[in-house]
Structure 1
Amino acid sequence: MSISCSCRFPEKGLKNFAEVLAHLNGLGLFHMEMGLERMRGALEKLGLTRFPCPSVQIVGTNGKGSTATFLHSLALAHGFRAGLYTSPHFLSPTERIRMMRRSLPESAWPNLANRALEAEPGLTYFELLTVMAALAFSDADPDLLVFEAGLGGRFDATSALPLDMTCFVPIGLDHMRVLGPDVASIAADKADAMHEGMFGAVSAPQEDDAWRALELRAGELELPLFETTGTRKGHRLPPDLAELVSLADTAPLGLYGPYQRVNAKAALAAWLLICRREGWKTDEKRIRKGLAEAFIPGRLHYVDARGGYPPFLLDGAHNVHGMKALRSALLPGGICEKGLAPSAVIFSCLEDKEPDELVPVLASTLEEIAPGVPVYIPAIADNPRAAQPETLARIAGSESRPLSSLREAVELARDSTRHGPVLVCGSLYLLAEFFTLFPHALYARGIVPGAQT
């Protein structure tokens, strides 16, 4: 697919943040052009063939943003300057490029966008943001850079960057129309994020098919590949590092959910391998601090009651793997010893996220922890990939109700006579709408009553 004429880089450049946004919107959030030629050409012209510090790419299906956030937080807890690149955003693309937990200011965007587009006018939405992040970080005297991959690995824009390590989170079924029909083919695509010049890779536990793909690619490159649990023979971490990684099994985390311990261990393993390579000192106290202070919106994100509205529990849970993780968090022994039953549920998802499999996981979870709870299914606004509420309601069953908007769903959920938070889940794009309605909630870190530390 080609970019339309209206999206071409203006001859006189982009003058302000609004013009940068207009250019990005013209490119199209979901527009993709496979291949890394544009990225590599832009990086070479801009002199971004090597970063001034170690750089790590986070690749996988679920937990990329959380793992990237844990790694970034670990660096900050040790007193280092660290940059973090994540996606998608909720309210503004400035959220994607962060240095020391601060978003890249709007005033910096025109210059960065112009430099990137002068090097390669045909950059796609995600490619442009990736190059801008690389430029911004390189100018900021960083000690560590963390890049979350977007989709896949083989042709993901972040894979063109001069990275030192890849950290793999659990790989499952997602984006099958682009990456392949099964875990093996999806993992093979993501495994290609590893490339010559890296010093190593680390992985969370994987299904056998996914692990074989990672192991094969690492073997081709003669690249050390470590697995965080020590169950893969020949890929165990050094004993002293494995002992420190085990801190993530019990240490308080800044993010809720049993599965966050998997993400925290992957991030911690990557951190320790970098420390060993760079000769940086680390200790248990600062590790615990980094794990406890990590936060990213929309991942089992609890928002306290305010302004007559009930508390909310927000979670992307945008595919089957993610919905099963949400299930484990809500059931007894997850976030709370006795479980966490919502007072109402607001759910919607994208049509390409296998709703026939996704919705039943949510339905069975609710039947177990909150039978009869009302489920409101609004349309996700302005999204061509959104599933139709009526279609989702037919799958969800009699307790569900299709609605035209999230605002309507929130008002109906507000009137629930049950106790507990309103659960909002199924899509990060649904959460983006929620944060548009309640912008104060984006970085509001509430504490779940009765939560287990």
Structure 2
Amino acid sequence: MADAFADFHALQAHLDRLGLFHMDLTLGRMEAFFRTSGLAAPPFPVIHVVGTNGKGSTTAFLEALLLRAGLRVGVYTSPHFLSVRERVRLDGAPASPEAFLAAANRIAPLAGELTYFEFLTALAVDAFAAHPVDVAVMEAGLGGRYDAVSALQRDLLLYTPIDLDHAAQLGHTRAAVARDKAGAMRPGLPTLTVPQHPEARAVLEEAAAGTGCPLETAAVMDFGRDSLGLAGPHQSVNASLALGAADRLVHSHGWDLPLDERLPAMGRAFLPGRLQWARGEASGADLILDAAHNPHALVALAEALEHLDIHPAAVVFSCFSDKDLAALAPHVARLTRGPILVPSIPAACRGRACDPRSIAGALTPRARVAADPEAAVREAARHGSPVLACGSLYLLAALYTQRPHLLAPPTNPAEVRP
């Protein structure tokens, strides 16, 4: 039987046809695929990371810890910046085009009507089995109840901070968001959470009791200003969750991760777009790239900047049309005393991007429209250094397009840490 995709270009065309933003929030298709493929109970432990903010950072810390233990590690995250291969990592690096294509061709005959995200989830599990990995860390895409990873047999469920985001899909209160994310619980599935807002915590506890899902809370440690590979005081929460997960995995599987190797491992953790400092990358000024795009994340960003005594001369910001601009505005305005430049973001966002004039009008009198992300960075740099770019991940993707070297882990972590 001929391969479904002759080359990576053909696979990318198929994904484009599926539609990056097309969603159908059910689990039936994934459950059917995993039953047919025999992958419903993968031949490796699966850690499922669910939450509103901090999923990527927690995954990065956990990946660093597991790699330090000498394990072969698969990581599944979303979204991506430049290449869809960024979503599937094998032993610390994006899957090669050959490995990615081979996995796609193996799952294609069974893929049926899988959506874009479901197809990539299936592809990731197949790629991990073929590698093979010792353990997989898989990040939820949206919510939890109908997240594609929830169709798998998992060994550990992690909850990062839960707050308001994706209101149209998940609800307009923390309790509603938490109820959806609590839907990832299954009877007997060990679950570890960070301290949560009382509304979210109450929902998780109720769901855990009703499901028979053992729920524990990770103790948050103070790692110090420069100990972690990802900057900002909020990263202590994510690192603590990752460390708690690693402890449980090491204990249950007999892996070796000496105590004196854990902090150095987390000091090497890397994730693009998390308070990432890029020296001289904004027309000579330093550029800070951060993925904060909801109120909870923007508050954490502002507190991190204050903690690190960083004062952006100007901000470049954009967001999708599903965001509550009135809720975002005061948090964005707090990030700088200088101008806020609002560019258009790429046409690939297919109508989800908010009109820059609407964003600028809702933010502050200091906000004004820029032609595109690079024009916004150039204008912002005229006001001094550093320039902060935050908001939509697709804004950051446009900036990484001109700076692809910033997506790779640096030789010296201090290069990307304030």
The interval holding the TM-score normalised by the smaller chain is: over 0.9
Check conservation: 2:325, 2:363, Cα contact below 8 A: no
Residue deviations 1:62-102, cap 9 Å, x none? 00011011111100111111111111000000001001111
* Within-5 A mapping of 1:144-293: 144-196=135-187, 198=189, 200-229=190-219, 246=221, 248=223, 252-293=227-268
* Within-5 A mapping of 1:285-324: 285-306=260-281, 308-324=283-299
- What is the distance in 2 between the residues matched to 1:247 and 1:424? 27
Find the residue that maps to 2:414 and give its secondary structure.
coil
Counterpart of 1:387 (choices 326, 338, 354) is: 354
Identify the residue that residue 353 of structure 1 maps to in structure 2: 323
Identify the residue that residue 342 of structure 1 maps to in structure 2: 312
Check conservation: 1:360, 1:395, Cα contact below 8 A: no
- What is the distance in 2 between the residues matched to 1:187 and 1:374? 36
Q: How far did residue 250 of structure 1 move?
A: 7.1
* Number of residue equivalences: 414
Residue deviations 1:40-62, cap 9 Å, x none? 11111111022222210000000
Q: Write the letter of the residue equivalent to 1:220.
A: G
Identify the residue that residue 364 of structure 2 maps to in structure 1: 397
Q: How far did residue 248 of structure 1 move?
A: 4.2
Residue deviations 1:362-421, cap 9 Å, x none? 21342xxxx2x12111011212211111111112222211122112112212333x2x31
Identify the residue that residue 426 of structure 1 maps to in structure 2: 391
- What is the distance in 1 between the residues matched to 2:159 and 2:403? 33
Distance 1:128 1:228, change over 3 A: same
Q: Write the letter of the residue equivalent to 1:408.
A: A
Q: Write the letter of the residue equivalent to 2:361.
A: R
- What is the distance in 1 between the residues matched to 2:212 and 2:122? 28
Check conservation: 1:77, 1:289, Cα contact below 8 A: no
Q: Write the letter of the residue equivalent to 2:234.
A: Y
Counterpart of 1:442 (choices 397, 400, 407) is: 407
Identify the residue that residue 374 of structure 1 maps to in structure 2: 339
Distance 1:341 1:96, change over 3 A: same
- What is the distance in 2 between the residues matched to 1:145 and 1:263? 18
Identify the residue that residue 382 of structure 2 maps to in structure 1: 415
TM-score in terms of structure 2 length: 0.94
Q: Write the letter of the residue equivalent to 1:209.
A: E
Q: How far did residue 306 of structure 1 move?
A: 4.9
Residue deviations 1:421-446, cap 9 Å, x none? 11000111110111012222222646
Q: How far did residue 25 of structure 1 move?
A: 0.8
Identify the residue that residue 102 of structure 1 maps to in structure 2: 93
Residue deviations 1:9-60, cap 9 Å, x none? x996111100111111111111001211111111111110222222100000
Distance 1:405 1:50, change over 3 A: same
Q: Percent identity?
A: 40
- What is the distance in 2 between the residues matched to 1:276 and 1:45? 32
Structure 1 unaligned regions, length at least 5: 1-9, 230-244
- What is the distance in 2 between the residues matched to 1:344 and 1:380? 18
Q: Write the letter of the residue equivalent to 1:113.
A: A
- What is the distance in 1 between the residues matched to 2:290 and 2:183? 29
Moved more, 135-144 or 314-323: 135-144
Residue deviations 1:81-125, cap 9 Å, x none? 111111100000000100111111112233322222211221100
Distance 1:250 1:377, change over 3 A: closer
Structure 2 unaligned regions, length at least 5: none
Find the residue that maps to 1:131 and give its secondary structure.
helix
Q: Write the letter of the residue equivalent to 2:154.
A: L
Find the residue that maps to 1:305 and give its secondary structure.
strand
Moved more, 42-51 or 248-257: 248-257
Moved more, 405-414 or 438-447: 438-447
